[in-house]
């Protein structure tokens, strides 16, 4: 691919913020400080407009209609598929399956490829930092098939112990399913290296991209992953729409997931033949509106990519890390060398939930708890953390408010 060098303009955070109407909201009579972006990001006006425009102007069921609205809706729906293909660098738009989100993508693979390929005594490797969505489907599959789940441990900095990973790989390994970016710690895992090693023993690799797709450039061809799943709502898009990418040959060989309309070629009571990719995996009327609006979200991400979005987020991470570290008794959980803009922390003798409640009263939205990564919390010997996760529209002033809010909360609690 040809490298184009774009001079980055000075990043204008107020221009970005102006695109997000929700940021004008007051919460508990204070300006909203939204630092829960790893749970879900807010939506720019363009995404909201895409949804209302669809429902106001061309709402119709897609693919088989011959009237004008159906054609417009189908064209917009399929345009998102092509936009996703380009966004993640897939070879063909046939390899892009629309799902409800990352969780459904992982479950789809577990229930189709997994049930077809995993047998008694096989091994599936995941890591200690996985979200429950990338643990439970494999546990269920292992239980059904008599396979074994192997866990890559995490070191004190919140990084994968790569030596242990290489030791776990063997000819028994049939699948490695790994998160690219930890939702609890922010750690960026070396997935490319891990995929190469897994392929060397003949294993298939699934990458959970729920947190990475919004922060990192994704190139599935370069990464060489076999499956990649992500959600729209964490990258400024609507809820209820996600993507599963799979290599064509794997997808073609996989059995179908759900039966119904859309996914068939011909149905008789004796036999059904299935549709081609990607429709084979998209039974029933899909989530048309949210799929169409996902394209607006991808356009938003791409439009800011070369305007210093990454540098801005890195600056926020560094600033937040320095400011938080100065709070007495505060311990950051996850100090990996490669991190996205997210900080998880605990404060001595203070429960994360108490901090969350008192921050909320000051208009500051953070997430507290185990972040659906209970094994990881157990690894660090904590019940949960407070997690501040940043997006393109956050500012240093908001981090200052978080710090002041924490000081106030600590004072109230002590």
Partner 1 sequence: MSLGTIQEREEKIIDDFSWFETWEEKYEYIIELGKKLPVLDDRFKLQENIIKGCQSTVWLVADYKDGKVFYQADSDAIIVKGLVSMLVSVLSGNTPDEILEAKLEFIQKIGMMSHLAQTRSNGLVAMVKQIKHYALAYKSIEETQKTQ
Q: Tell me if 357 contacts partner 1 by CB under 8 A.
A: yes
Q: Tell me if 361 contacts partner 1 by CB under 8 A.
A: yes
Nearest CA-CA partner of 118 in 197, 195, 173, 198: 173
Minimum CB distance to partner 1, residue 235 (Å): 24
Nearest CA-CA partner of 179 in 144, 213, 143, 221: 213
**What positions carry a catalytic annotation?**
372
Per rule CB under 8 A, count of chain residues that contact partner 1? 15
The answer to whether 296 touches 47, Cβ cutoff 8 Å, is yes
Bridge partners (DSSP) listed for residue 127: 152
Reply yes or no: is the peptide bond before residue 278 cis, omega within 30 of 0. yes
CA atoms of 37 and 49, how far apart (whole Å): 21
Q: Rule CB under 8 A: choose which of 84, 229, 244, 358 binds partner 1.
A: 358
Q: Rule CB under 8 A: choose which of 8, 25, 28, 276 binds partner 1.
A: 28
CB atoms within 10 A of CB 24: 10
Q: Tell me if 49 contacts partner 1 by CB under 8 A.
A: no
Per DSSP, 118 falls in state -
Of 115 and 351, CB closest to partner 1:
351
Element (H, E) at 27: strand 26-27
Site stretch for partner 1 (CB under 8 A), options 186-194, 231-239, 296-304, 358-366: 358-366
Q: Tell me if 184 contacts partner 1 by CB under 8 A.
A: no
Q: Tell me if 384 contacts partner 1 by CB under 8 A.
A: yes
Bridge partners (DSSP) listed for residue 388: 343
Of 83 and 402, CB closest to partner 1:
402
CA atoms of 217 and 213, how far apart (whole Å): 7
Rg (CA), the chain: 22
Checking DSSP bridges between strand 96-99 and strand 242-246, what pairing results, if any?
antiparallel
In the shown chain, the binding pattern of residues 293 to 332 toward partner 1, with x for contact by CB under 8 A and - for none, equals ----------------------------------------
Site stretch for partner 1 (CB under 8 A), options 248-256, 311-319, 357-365, 374-382: 357-365
Of 7 and 348, CB closest to partner 1:
348
Of 322 and 412, CB closest to partner 1:
412
Minimum CB distance to partner 1, residue 376 (Å): 16
């Amino acid at each position: 691919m040809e490298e184009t060098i774009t001079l980055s303009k000075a990043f204008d955070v107020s221009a970005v913020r102006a695109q997000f109407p929700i940021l004008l909201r007051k919460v508990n009579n204070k300006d909203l400080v939204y630092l829960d972006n790893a749970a879900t990001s807010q939506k720019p006006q363009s995404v909201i407009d895409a949804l209302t425009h669809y429902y106001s102007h061309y709402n119709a069921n897609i693919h088989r209609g011959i009237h004008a609205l159906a054609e417009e809706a189908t064209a917009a729906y399929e345009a998102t598929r092509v936009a996703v293909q380009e966004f993640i660098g897939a070879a063909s738009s046939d390899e892009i399956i629309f799902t409800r989100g990352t969780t459904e993508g992982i479950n789809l693979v577990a229930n189709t490829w997994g049930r077809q390929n995993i047998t008694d005594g096989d091994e599936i490797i995941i890591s200690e930092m996985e979200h429950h969505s990338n643990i439970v489907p494999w546990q269920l599959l292992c239980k059904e098939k008599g396979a074994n789940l192997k866990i890559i441990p995490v070191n004190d900095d919140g990084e994968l112990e790569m030596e242990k990973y290489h030791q776990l790989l063997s000819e028994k390994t049939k699948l490695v399913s790994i998160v690219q970016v930890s939702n609890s710690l922010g750690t960026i895992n070396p997935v490319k290296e891990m995929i190469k090693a897994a392929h060397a023993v003949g294993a298939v690799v699934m990458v959970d991209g729920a947190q990475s797709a919004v922060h990192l450039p994704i190139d599935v061809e370069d990464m060489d992953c076999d499956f990649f799943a992500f959600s729209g709502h964490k990258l400024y898009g609507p809820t209820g729409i996600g993507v599963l990418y799979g290599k064509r040959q794997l997808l073609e060989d996989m059995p179908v997931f759900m039966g119904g309309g859309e996914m068939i070629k011909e149905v008789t009571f004796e036999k059904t033949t299935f549709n081609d990719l990607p429709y084979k995996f998209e039974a029933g009327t899909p989530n048309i509106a949210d799929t169409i609006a996902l394209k607006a979200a991808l356009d938003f991400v791409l439009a800011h990519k070369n305007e210093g979005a990454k540098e801005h987020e890195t600056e926020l991470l560094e600033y937040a890390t320095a400011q938080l570290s100065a709070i007495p008794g505060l311990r950051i959980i996850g100090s990996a060398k490669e991190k996205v803009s997210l900080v998880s922390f605990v404060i001595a003798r203070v429960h994360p939930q108490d901090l969350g409640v008192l921050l909320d009263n000051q208009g500051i939205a953070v997430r507290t708890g185990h972040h659906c990564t209970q094994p990881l919390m157990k690894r660090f010997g904590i019940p949960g953390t407070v997690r501040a996760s940043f997006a393109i529209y956050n500012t240093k002033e908001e981090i200052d408010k978080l710090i002041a809010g924490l000081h106030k909360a600590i004072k109230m609690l002590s």
